[in-house]
């Protein structure tokens, strides 16, 4: 499982001209799921992301987590994060979880994130998204 985490002032996901998820300030998280990943691993990752102290506090130091500036969390599935690129000139997506299994796990992780945090938005699994 890999997560690419980006602090943002604003972010949105657009699919076929329609906005499917949007936050003002907070974290944009691209999530790649591997073949051996489990729900428990994903829940631990979500918990960690929500607790990361990567926002400036009153002293200008990274002392606040996502809830302290009342930010949003935008979760986007991104299987390309699982690509192996050590050999050749084409990425190998073999380590990525098969789509049907990945969709079910991704949806469970989104549900878990929504239980843990109030401001969660998402993209659409396997859609052609503009982020």
Catalytic residue among 30, 55, 78, 121, which? 78
**CATH number, domain with residue 36:** 3.50.80.10
Cβ atoms 113, 5 nearer than 8 A: no
- pLDDT tens digits, 95-107: 999 999 999 999 9
**Cα–Cα separations (whole angstroms), residue 130 to 20, 92, 104:** 10, 23, 22
78 annotated active-site: yes
Catalytic site residue from 24, 70, 80, 115: 80
Considering its fold, how many domains does the chain have in total?
1
Whole-model pTM: value is 0.94
What is the CA angle 33-34-35, rounded to 5?
130
Range of the domain at 14: 2-130
Task: Catalytic residue, from 30, 79, 117, 121: name it.
Answer: 79
Q: pLDDT, tens digit, for every residue of 80-91?
A: 999 999 999 999
For position 69, what pLDDT does the model report? 83
Chain-wide mean pLDDT for the chain?
Answer: 96
pLDDT digits (tens, 9 = 90+) for 17-51: 999 999 999 999 999 999 999 999 999 999 999 99
- Examine the residue annotation and report whether 80 is marked as an active-site residue of this protein: yes
């Amino acid at each position: 499982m890999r997560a690419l985490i980006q602090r943002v002032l604003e972010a949105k996901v657009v699919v076929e001209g329609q906005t499917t998820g949007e936050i003002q300030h907070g974290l944009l998280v691209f999530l790649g799921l591997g073949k051996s990943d489990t729900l428990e691993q994903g829940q631990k990752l979500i918990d960690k992301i929500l607790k990361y102290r990567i926002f400036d506090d009153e002293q200008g130091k990274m002392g606040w987590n996502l809830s302290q500036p009342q930010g949003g969390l935008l979760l986007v599935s991104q299987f390309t994060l699982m690509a192996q690129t050590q050999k050749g000139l084409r990425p190998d997506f073999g380590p990525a979880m098969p789509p049907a299994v990945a969709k079910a796990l991704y949806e469970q992780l989104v549900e878990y994130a929504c239980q843990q945090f109030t401001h969660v938005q998402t993209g659409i699994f396997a859609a052609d998204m503009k982020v």
